[in-house]
């Protein structure tokens, strides 16, 4: 996780930033992890071997300067629907980040989170969520709440059509989950996606 000065930036929970080290050419998109009312910004960074940005961000420390653009994106919840609508947040890996921002910013939101990771050690800050609403799906261990991918869980637990489903993370997961949810009768207008790669 990288935390840095907010400098008055206004954003909607669910949006992302373009981020990199000051003076470097490369920047990458990172979902905002922190809540809207906090006086700092945070992003989750998973180091990618040979990556152009993530290794440098993982090594940065106090006093290092960052370049930031944004916020960008429409992966946000509807303020008119939010008080009553049920939400299902499905994230793989660091795809949990926008949901952390949404849940921290709107504590009364009615949600359930499916977090897909390889092992339970990859549950980023999971204690920040209401434990009764957070389900960890582990694909390479049995230490989570469900042994298998989030898509397997979705197949076994059909989602009601009125649920607003937000999908964030690996593109393969998103395409598969989208097809499963459409097959279960969730209308296209209740499906939202933020593809990481």
Q: Where are the domains of the chain?
A: 2-72, 86-195
Q: What is the mean pLDDT of residues 172-191?
A: 97
CATH dotted code for 86-195:
3.40.50.80
What are the two backbone dihedrals, phi and then psi, of residue 43, each rounded to the nearest 5 degrees?
A: -135, 150
Structure token digits, residue 100: 């952390």
Q: pLDDT exceeding 90 applies to what percent of the chain?
A: 82
2-72 and 86-195 have identical folds: no
Question: What's the confidence (pLDDT) of residue 86?
Answer: 98
Fold of 2-72: Elongation Factor Tu (Ef-tu); domain 3 (2.40.30)
- pLDDT tens figures, 46-80: 888 888 899 899 889 899 999 999 999 999 999 99
Q: SS3 of 94, please? A: helix
Q: Rg (Cα) of the chain, in Å, rounded?
A: 17
- pLDDT tens figures, 72-106: 999 999 999 999 999 999 999 999 999 999 999 99
Question: What's the confidence (pLDDT) of residue 36?
Answer: 96
* Rama region for 9: left / alpha / beta (φ>0; ψ in -120 to 50; rest): beta
Cβ(36)–Cβ(93) below 8 Å: no
Cα(55)–Cα(154) distance, integer angstroms: 34
Q: pLDDT exceeding 70 applies to what percent of the chain?
A: 99
Question: What's the confidence (pLDDT) of residue 48?
Answer: 86
Name the DSSP class of 159: P
Q: What is the mean pLDDT of residues 118-143?
A: 92
Which residues, including other chains, have CB under 8 Å from residue 162's CB and lie 6 or more apart? 85, 86, 190
């Amino acid at each position: 996780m990288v935390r840095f000065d907010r400098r008055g930036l206004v954003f909607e929970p669910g949006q992302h930033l373009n981020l990199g080290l000051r003076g470097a050419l490369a920047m990458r998109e990172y979902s905002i992890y922190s809540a809207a009312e906090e006086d700092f910004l945070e992003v989750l960074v998973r180091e990618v071997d040979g990556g152009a940005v993530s290794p440098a961000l993982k090594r940065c420390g106090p006093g290092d300067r960052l370049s930031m653009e944004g916020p960008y994106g429409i992966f946000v919840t509807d303020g008119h629907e939010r008080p009553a609508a049920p939400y299902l947040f499905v994230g793989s890996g660091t795809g949990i980040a926008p949901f952390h921002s949404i849940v921290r910013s709107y504590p009364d939101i009615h949600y359930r989170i499916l977090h897909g990771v390889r092992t339970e050690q990859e549950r980023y800050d999971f204690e920040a969520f209401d434990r009764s609403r957070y389900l960890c799906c582990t694909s390479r261990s049995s230490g989570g709440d469900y042994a298998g991918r989030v898509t397997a869980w979705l197949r076994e637990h059909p989602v009601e059509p009125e649920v607003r489903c937000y999908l964030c993370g690996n593109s393969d997961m998103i395409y598969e989950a989208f097809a499963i949810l459409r097959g279960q009768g969730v209308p296209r207008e209740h499906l939202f996606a933020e593809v990481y790669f």
